[in-house]
């Protein structure tokens, strides 16, 4: 079995007393599409920035293709490519001129440079518009040139940081196809950050769920979804105490019951926002969702307890995140 293309050891970033990345560790296999899934502000971009030399880690390190980023960042940069969240292009120059510029930074010249530029233009489906100024492009087309700039030196590992933010559906699909083609046809390893659950489900082999600078779960998508087990039911009640929770836990089909964080308690109109006056939510982990639901409703009826709201979480990454953190992915 080949060594990982990327191994991260206890990587940490602090600004004063504020710790934005809290000692995370993970690895990416050669030829893998690895997802970093989390809300805005979770620490995804800071992690990518440390791995690509944009910012210095406060502690920890990572090894990219055998190169320690704390000691051999220059060598590591030859192995990896970065597509940042913010566009890094010269708007008055054409796509081809931009790519020629970035290729020269990586030491490409002459025939090699020309061939590489033409190749990446085909990868992002912009060969027919390559000589137009970037400022004439749509937001989605600019994103695709941004990706091409990260590919021009043929990296073994590509970091894509929120590459579909603000793009139109057609360009979004082009980006998806480019990622899949690079991985499938060229064996490129890719680290893909996003706060869009459906993108990660579509593209990634394994996913690390990151929140508040920490990795709270890491596995294949089927294994992450299996965290929900037989299902999770959120029951809104007007009152809930430890005695009631103990009674719910004693039901045969209930694995666990606890008060959910206030952030997932719905307002009266059901929009899911936090409210200091919202009713408490009991989070019930079920052995079998339907069986547990019947049991719960029978119990509440027998005890004359009024149910204010009821929700069964579907088995997907969005609800895994909600289950693990007590908040929605895009909060």
Q: Which fold has domain 6-225?
A: Rossmann fold (3.40.50)
Q: What is the pLDDT of residues 75-98, one digit of tens each?
A: 999 999 999 988 889 999 999 999
Cα Rg for the chain, rounded, in angstroms? 24
Q: What is the pLDDT of residues 211-222, one digit of tens each?
A: 999 999 999 998
Which residue has 């990896």 as its token pair?
A: 80
Average pLDDT, stretch 18-44?
Answer: 94
With bands split at pLDDT 50, 70 and 90, how would you rate the model's confidence at 171?
confident
| Whether residue 159 has pLDDT greater than 90 | yes
With bands split at pLDDT 50, 70 and 90, how would you rate the model's confidence at 198?
confident
| Whether residue 266 has pLDDT greater than 80 | no
pTM (2 d.p.):
0.81
Whether 169 contacts 161, CB under 8 Å? no
Q: What is the pLDDT of residues 95-132, one digit of tens each?
A: 999 999 999 998 999 999 999 999 999 999 999 999 99
The domain ranges of the chain are 6-225, 230-313
The number of angstroms, rounded, from the C-alpha of 266 to the middle of its chain's C-alpha atoms is 25
Tell me which of 318 and 16 has the higher pLDDT: 16
| Whether residue 197 has pLDDT greater than 50 | yes
| Whether residue 286 has pLDDT greater than 50 | yes
DSSP codes, 24-40: EEEEE-TT-EEEEE--T
Alpha-carbon span 330 to 254, nearest angstrom: 29
DSSP codes, 290-326: HHHHHHHHHHHHHTTPPEEEEEEEPSSHHHHHHHHHS
pLDDT > 90 in the chain, percent: 66
Angle (nearest 5°) at CA 46 between 101 and 182? 50
Alpha-carbon span 65 to 28, nearest angstrom: 11
pLDDT given at position 136: 94
With bands split at pLDDT 50, 70 and 90, how would you rate the model's confidence at 62?
very high
**Which neighbouring-strand residues pair with 282?**
235, 259
| Whether residue 272 has pLDDT greater than 50 | no
Q: Which fold has domain 230-313?
A: Alpha-Beta Plaits (3.30.70)
| Whether residue 43 has pLDDT greater than 80 | yes
| Whether residue 275 has pLDDT greater than 70 | no
Separation in Å, CA 309 to CA 73, 202, 243, 258, 280: 53, 32, 20, 16, 10
């Amino acid at each position: 079995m080949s060594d990982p293309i990327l191994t991260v050891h206890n990587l940490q970033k602090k600004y004063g007393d504020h710790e934005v990345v809290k000692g995370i560790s993970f690895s990416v296999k050669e030829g893998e599409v690895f997802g970093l899934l989390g809300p805005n502000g979770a620490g995804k971009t800071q992690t990518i920035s440390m791995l690509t030399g944009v910012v210095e880690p406060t502690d920890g390190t990572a090894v990219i293709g055998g190169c320690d980023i704390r000691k051999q960042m220059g060598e590591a940069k030859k192995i990896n490519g970065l597509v940042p969240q913010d566009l890094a292009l010269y708007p008055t120059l054409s796509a081809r001129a931009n790519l020629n510029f970035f290729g020269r930074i990586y030491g490409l010249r002459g025939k090699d440079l020309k061939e590489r530029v033409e190749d990446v233009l085909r990868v992002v489906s912009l060969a027919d518009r390559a000589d137009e100024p970037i400022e004439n492009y749509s937001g989605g087309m600019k994103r695709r040139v941004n990706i091409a700039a990260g590919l021009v030196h043929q990296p073994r590992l590509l970091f894509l940081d929120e590459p579909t933010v603000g793009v139109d559906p057609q360009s979004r699909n082009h980006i998806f196809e480019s990622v899949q083609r690079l991985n499938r046809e060229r064996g490129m390893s890719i680290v893909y950050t996003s706060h869009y659950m459906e993108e990660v489900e579509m593209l990634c082999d394994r996913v690390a769920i990151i929140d508040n600078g920490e990795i709270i779960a890491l596995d294949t998508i089927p294994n992450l979804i299996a965290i929900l087990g037989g299902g999770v039911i959120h029951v809104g009640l007007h009152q809930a105490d430890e005695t009631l929770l103990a009674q719910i836990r004693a039901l045969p089909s209930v694995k666990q019951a606890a008060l959910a964080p206030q952030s997932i308690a719905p307002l009266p109109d059901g929009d899911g926002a936090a409210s200091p006056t919202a009713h408490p939510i009991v989070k019930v982990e079920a052995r079998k969702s339907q069986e547990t639901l019947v049991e719960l409703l029978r119990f509440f009826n027998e005890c004359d307890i009024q149910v204010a709201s009821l929700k069964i979480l579907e088995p997907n990454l969005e609800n895994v995140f909600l289950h693990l953190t007590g908040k929605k992915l895009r909060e």
